[in-house]
Chain A
Amino acid sequence: MEGAAPVDDFIPAGLASLGIKADEIDLAVMNAVHQLLWPPILELLALDTEGVEPERCPDLSRAPE
C-alpha cells in the first residue's frame, strides 16, 4: 500500500489534533522548519544523558553547584 511516510503526516496530523488551521503558506513554512529541526531533534533525543544529575532550580547567573 502506498502512502505518505509517517514524517509527512506529522504536521497535518499534529495541527488537526490541536485544531490549528493552516493555509498552504503556513504548511510550506512548517515543512521547511521541520526539515531543518526534526533530524537534530531525533539526535538530541538519542543523546545519552542518563548520567546527568539534574540541577534543582538552576541559577543561570552562576556556575552550577
Chain B
Amino acid sequence: MSAALDLGLRAQAAAVAAGDVEAAELLDGALARIEERNPALNAVIETFPERSREMLAAAPAGPLHGVPIVIKDEWPLPWRAQRFGAAELMAPTAPGESAPYRALRDAGAVVVGVGNMHELGAGSTGNTSFYGPARNPWDTERCPGGSSSGPAASVAGGLVAGAVGADGLGSVRFPAAYCGLTGLKPTFGRSAMEGHHMAAVTTLIVSGPLCADAADCRLLGSVLFGEELAAGDAAGLRIGIVRDTVAEDVTPEVREACEKAIEALRKETDGEVREIALPDLDAATLAAILIINSESMGGVTPERLNHLHPELSPIARGTLKYRMLLPAAATVQSTRVRTMMRRRLVELFEEVDVIAWPTIPAPAPLLEAPLVELPSGTHTADQANVRGAALANLTGIPSISMPVGLSGERLPIALQLQAAWGRDELLLDAAEALERANERRWVESRPPLAEAETTEV
C-alpha cells in the first residue's frame, strides 16, 4: 500500500478505478501514514476515520472515487466547524456542507483529515497556529508556507496526493512554493467557496488545489470548479517579465532558477519573452492588504476586541486591534487602485499571455525566525512574499506556482505565472509545458521525509 500512497492524485484515482488498489485499503493506508508521519509535520489537525469510511461507503463513481484528500481548516464539514487555525474567529461558524466538501463528495473523494493553517489565514509562513505550526517536509525546522500550511505539508509529506487550500493573498501559492508543489489560485469566483465564513463578503479569497504537479491540479481543480479544465496547448506562449522588485529583489539562487525556467518555458512552447511595465505594484499590494483587512472585520466591534480569546496569539490580537484604526479613505483609494490595475492588466494581456516572476523571493525560512535575506536587506518573510502574490487577488486573475529548482540547502524554489481572467487552463497548460521542458525533475523531487522508509500497511 505504501506504493499506492506515493502515487500522484490522478494515478491514485486511476488505480482505484482500474481495481488495482482497493479504496478501503488506500484510506486505511492514508490514515496509517498520517499516524506515522504527522507527529513530525503537524500538517493534519484532525482525522475522523469513521466519517471517512462512511464517506467512502457512500462515494459515487466519480473522477476522484476513493481518493483520500485533506481539506484546509477554512471550511466546515458536516461534522465539524472550521477553526481557521485560531482559538477564535471573528465570524460565526457551524458544521455544514461547504461547497468544496460537496464537490469532493460528489466526485467520490474521501476527506481524510483537516489541514492545519496559519492563524486566521493571516500569514505566508504557517509558523503560527492554534494547533502549533505545521512543518515543512523538506526541513522540519522550516516554514511550510501559509496560510494553507497543512494542506501543502500533507501533500509534500506523502500523507495524501491532493489537498484543498484557500488563497486570499497568496495562501495557496506560498505553501506550494515552500513545499515544492504545484498550487493554483483560480480566477476569482470560479472555484467552490460556499460555506467559507467570508464567502459573502470576500472579493479576494478563492479555494484552490495543491498537488504534486499541474495535471493533478487540473484534476482536483476540475472538481472544485465543477467543470472540466480541459488540457490545451501553450504553443507560442508570450511570456511577460518585469524589471521590478518582485523579480529582482530575490536571492541569487531564486533569480537564476526562475530565469532558467522562463527560458525553458519559452523554448518548450516556441514562445517569446517580452519585457513589460507594470507600475504601482507596491500600491496594488497594499491595496489588496487593506481590502482583505476591511472585509475580514465585518461584525467586529470594540467590545468584541476587548474580550478576545486568551489563546489568540499576541500578533493576531494586536493586528485585529490595529485594523480598527485603518483610515477608510485608504480602503476607498485601494478600490481605485484595484480598478486601475485591472484596466492595466487588460492592456497587458493583449501583449502577453502570462506574466512570470518568482513566487517567493527566498526559500522557506526557519520557523523560529521567519526572516529572509534579500539584496535590499533583511525582511520578514510575510513582507517580502506578499508583494509577488497580491496582484492576482486584487484583480481577480488566476495564478499558478510551480517548482523550478532546489536551493543549495535543498529547499524548493518556485516560479509563478499569472494569466487573464478565466485562463486558468492556460496556466495549467504552461505549467505542464515547463514540466516537460525540465523532464519533470522538480515535480518529481521528494523531500527527505517523504522518502523515509515506511511501514507496509
Interface residues of A (CB under 8 A from B): 10-11, 14-15, 18-22, 25-30, 32-34, 36-37, 40-41, 43-45, 47, 49, 52-55, 58-64
Contact = CB atoms under 8 A, between A and B. Distances in A.
Contacts of B286: 37, 40-41, 44
Given A45-B329, A45-B333, A60-B395, A19 B302 contact: yes
A6 B203 CA distance: 34
Interface in B183-233: 187-190, 203
Interface in B323-365: 324-327, 329-330, 333-340, 342-343, 345-346, 349
B321 A22 contact: yes
B315 interface: yes
B421 A63 contact: yes
A47 B333 contact: yes
B318 A33 contact: yes
B164 interface: no
Nearest to A21: B306
A18 B323 CA distance: 12
Contact of A30 (B187, B318, B330, B333): B318
Given A21-B305, A40-B282, A52-B336, 18 more contacts: A20-B305, A21-B306, A26-B318, A26-B321, A28-B318, A29-B314, A29-B322, A30-B319, A37-B286, A41-B330, A44-B290, A52-B339, A54-B339, A55-B342, A60-B188, A61-B188, A61-B190, A64-B346
Contact of B327 (A11, A22, A41, A47): A41
Given A21-B306, A36-B383, A49-B333, A14 B325 contact: yes
Contact of A49 (B189, B340, B345): B340
B339 A27 contact: no
Nearest to A22: B321
21 contacts: A11-B322, A15-B321, A18-B302, A18-B324, A19-B302, A19-B306, A21-B305, A22-B321, A29-B314, A30-B318, A30-B322, A34-B322, A37-B286, A43-B282, A44-B286, A44-B337, A45-B333, A54-B336, A55-B342, A61-B396, A63-B421
Nearest to B342: A64
B324 A20 contact: yes
A44 B334 contact: yes
Contacts of B420: 63
Enumerate the 6 nearest inter-chain pairs by beta-carbon distance, A residue then B residue, closest first: A29-B318, A60-B396, A61-B189, A60-B188, A14-B325, A49-B336
Contacts of B306: 19-21
Contact of B346 (A27, A45, A63): A63
Nearest to B382: A36
**Which residue, of A18, A21, A26, has the highest number of chain B Cβ atoms within 10 A?**
A26
A37 B321 CA distance: 14
Contacts of A10: 325
Q: Which of A34, A36, A43, A44 has the most CB of B within 10 A?
A: A44
Contact of A58 (B303, B322, B342, B349): B342
Nearest to A62: B421
A44 B339 contact: no
Given A14-B324, A45-B330, A47-B283, A33 B319 contact: yes
Contact of B317 (A29, A49, A54, A63): A29
B456 to A, nearest CB: 47
A47 B280 contact: yes
B299 to A, nearest CB: 15
Contacts of A11: 322, 325
B287 interface: yes
